[in-house]
Structure formats: C-alpha cells, structure tokens
Structure 1
Amino acid sequence: MTPPANRVFRFVNWRLRSDQDDDAPPVRLKFRCLTLTGDDTECGAESEALTDAQEAQRWTFQHLREYPDHTSYAEVIERPWVMWREGPA
C-alpha cells in the first residue's frame, strides 16, 4: 500500500511536568499498612485518598488502635502531571 503523497510529519519536543495550573486536580494522598500478617502477606489496608495530609495520617492511628501490632505504613501520593509541548524538535 502506497502512503498518500501529501503526508506531513511535524516533530515536537514534549516535557512532562507536574500540573500546577489552576484547573489541575488536587494532590491527594493515602496511607497503606505494610505490616506482614501471620501468613507473611501484607495487611494492605489503606485509607481513602484525601487532599488533607493530616486527615490521611489520622487513619494510621485509627488502624493502629484496631491492630496494635500494625506499625509499618507507606504513603501513596497521587500528583497530577501533564505533557507540555515545548515547540519544534
């Protein structure tokens, strides 16, 4: 198959950057329990994703009250990113 004769290719440089525009989604975070259970699997319980860091951290204390030996956590951050066209390559 022969491509159309009038095909034009335009090459551009792209840059990935954190989206800090006014309409960008907010940064959200949650915590996940990393404590290993009796069968050597990760607990895996996690908080909901929130925009308030202190509110998300409160979940770890609540989880610890329910499970006193669960003392290891991971913070999971959801930060919006956007591809930005910088111009011709």
Structure 2
Amino acid sequence: MFRLREYTIEPDLEPDAEPIAFTGQCAVCGRLGPTGEGGGHLTGWMLAHLRAHPDHLTYREIITRPYRAVPGRWL
C-alpha cells in the first residue's frame, strides 16, 4: 500500500540550518572567490581579482541558501 503526502518547500530558518553563504565569481574567467557568510568579503576579492586582471570587468554573486521540505497532509 502506498500513501502520498503533500510537501511545501521553504527557506530553512531553523536554528540548526546551514548558514546562507556568498561567493563571488569572475564572469570572464569563471574563477571563484572565497565563500563566506554575509557578503562583505566579495568586493575585496573582486577588486583584488580586477587588479590582477584589469580586463575582467564583470562579476556575479552566488548565494547558497538552505531550503527544507515541510511535510503536509496525507492524500
């Protein structure tokens, strides 16, 4: 016998959830900067990468946010 259950996906805000992490990436060469909580470290890495590679002018921010599945009613 099988039973189906509904689930909702939502951000994991529980006290034991993984922290939200931020990583910078050069959009020209794909190199990744360090990953950390908050995001203040990103611009420092981007500026250092830009100094080393003056023609690398575009960057992206990669955010890793934990989610969880919350069980709902049985169908």
Q: Does 1:12 align with 2:20?
A: no
Do 2:27 and 2:60's aligned partners in 1 also have CA atoms closer than 8 Å? yes
Q: Deviations over 1:1-54 (max 9, x none)?
A: xxxxxxx3221101111111010000001011112xxxxxxx111112110201
Structure 2 CA distance for aligned equivalents of residues 57 and 9 of structure 1:
52
Question: Bigger radius of gyration, 1 or 2?
Answer: 1
Aligned-CA RMSD value: 1.1
Structure 2 CA distance for aligned equivalents of residues 50 and 56 of structure 1:
9
Structure 2 CA distance for aligned equivalents of residues 44 and 85 of structure 1:
38
Do 2:21 and 2:65's aligned partners in 1 also have CA atoms closer than 8 Å? yes
Aligned sequence identity (%):
28
TM-score norm. by structure 1 comes to 0.77
Q: What aligned pairs does 1:1-89 form with structure 2 within 5 A after superposition?
A: 8-35=1-28, 43-89=29-75
**Structure 1 unmatched ranges of 5 or more:** 1-7, 36-42
Structure 1 residue 56: Cα displacement: 2.2
- Matched AA of 2:27: L
Moved over 2 A (4+): none
Q: How many residues align structurally?
A: 75
SS in 1 for 2:34: coil
Which has the larger strand fraction?
2
- Matched AA of 1:15: T
